[in-house]
Amino acid sequence: MKLQQSPSESGLKGAIPAGAKSWVPVQAGSDFPIQNLPFGLACIDHVEEAVVVAIGDQVLDLTALAAEGLLPEEDFPILHCFIDVDKNDLRVLRMLVYDLLREDNSTLRDNMALRKAAFHPISEVEMMVPVEIPSFVDFYAGIYHAGNVGKMFRPDMDPLLPNYRHLPVGYNGRASTVIPSGAPISRPKGQYRPKGVENPVFGPTQELDFELELGFFISDGNEMGEAISVARAEEHILGLVLVNDWSARDIQRWEYQPLGPFLGKSFATSISPWIVTMEALEPFRIEGPKQQPEPLEHLLAAGPAHYDINLEVALRTPSMRQPQVIARSNAKHLYWSIAQMVAHQTSNGTAIEPGDLVATGTISGPDPGSFGSLLELSWNGSKPLRMQETGEERTYLQDGDTLTMRGWCEGHGIRIGFGSLETMIGAVS
């Protein structure tokens, strides 16, 4: 595709100045200032889905702008859905939107009829899974989470298995059960073995858990047999979302040996609706933890490859009026970078495709308050969490509980947020 319009010089790199302001009102502390401009897929007024951008507490319908000639629709077929999304095209599109939203640009600002058609309160639109997902891969890149699990279930062994510091461990998940924020999940059934019982039973999981993760979408794929290097990996990444990769711990514990997760993980994976671009996250790039031993050459990275992204989990039971924050973590605690995950996945010649979702695995920190799952927070049920408002206790999630995840970067005079990922637990389906 050849673009008929070119972005401004700053747009060639997707950089939006920290001091830039929009004529759209944006409250202090908003997740969605003009420096962010994340993309999503929304159903507006119960009609056809359209690609939208978040700014302040509004969504901007890009199809409405294209209909008035402010965006060249022939250059951006993704305006109605993210199919065969091209990262460079999306970068250009984001900068065109930025130009229209700058405080000194009157083109859209002074067109009240178009503003009324194009802007909608975020609270009044239905956000969808932003990308049609061909496949889903979940990694295990949070070293503190992996270490905690090892301490619980292999107390007489090294908490980390021998391969952990040599490669990003992962598995192929189930793309068909990826759901958006706001969609409830039902308590899954499965086969598990209750404690002290010799034979398994089949029934609703008794140990429903969340996993605090980040995920990213693939933009450009590769040919089968072609490996993607760590240095080139981010060229293939469209942007990031929050991920809650739900777990039925009792089902998983019984089934995972010798082949790994299956029914205990495949019933639901929730994601936040906004794709935060790599360009928006660039100011928050940092060095990751020192990797010892040094990775083999195909996984060796030069320069900062991690991101300083704050993460938070809150829980509200049916009896509570306000949610209670139960965990605070940060993406800097990942042992393996997202670029290394892409390089590892394709190192055997695996073909990845536009829209593939890749998740990091549970992102726990070093302290109990930063653990990214109830398995860790309750230490496998031995230390129940107490809800301050009601005195209730939780070791695992119960029906009617609502879990909310948030993520944001802050510094350099700006805040780049992901919005919220909220899910309520329903009864058995």
Which pLDDT belongs to residue 390? 98
Helix (H) or strand (E) holding 259: none
User: For residue 3, what are its two tokens?
Assistant: 């673009």
**74/415 Cα distance (integer angstroms):** 33
Strand, helix or coil for residue 112: helix
* pLDDT tens-digit series, residues 366-375: 999 999 999 9
Average pLDDT on 375-386 reads 97
Indicate the Cα dihedral angle 166, 168, 172, 177, nearest 10°: 160
Percent of the chain predicted with pLDDT > 90: 88
* pLDDT tens-digit series, residues 144-174: 999 999 999 999 999 999 999 999 999 999 9
Which pLDDT belongs to residue 77? 78
pLDDT of residue 239 exceeding 90, the answer is yes
Which pLDDT belongs to residue 237? 96
Average pLDDT on 88-104 reads 95
Strand, helix or coil for residue 219: coil
**149/138 Cα distance (integer angstroms):** 16
Kindly indicate the confidence band of residue 3, based on its pLDDT and cuts at 50, 70 and 90. very low
pLDDT of residue 180 exceeding 80, the answer is yes
pLDDT of residue 26 exceeding 50, the answer is yes
Contact between 185 and 177 (Cβ < 8 Å): no
Average pLDDT on 313-336 reads 98
User: 164 CB contacts (<8 Å, ≥6 apart)?
Assistant: 140, 143, 146, 335
Q: What positions carry a catalytic annotation?
A: 145
**58/30 Cα distance (integer angstroms):** 11
Cross-strand partners of 248: 208
Domains of the chain: 9-127 (2.30.30.230), 136-428 (3.90.850.10)
* pLDDT tens-digit series, residues 256-282: 989 999 999 999 999 999 999 999 999
pLDDT of residue 186 exceeding 50, the answer is yes
* pLDDT tens-digit series, residues 65-90: 999 999 988 888 788 788 777 889 89
pLDDT of residue 114 exceeding 60, the answer is yes
**236/355 Cα distance (integer angstroms):** 10
pTM (2 d.p.): 0.95
80-94 burial code (b ≥16 CB/10 A, e <16): bbbeebbbebbbbbb
Cross-strand partners of 306: 286
* pLDDT tens-digit series, residues 188-236: 999 999 988 999 999 999 999 999 999 999 999 999 999 999 999 999 9
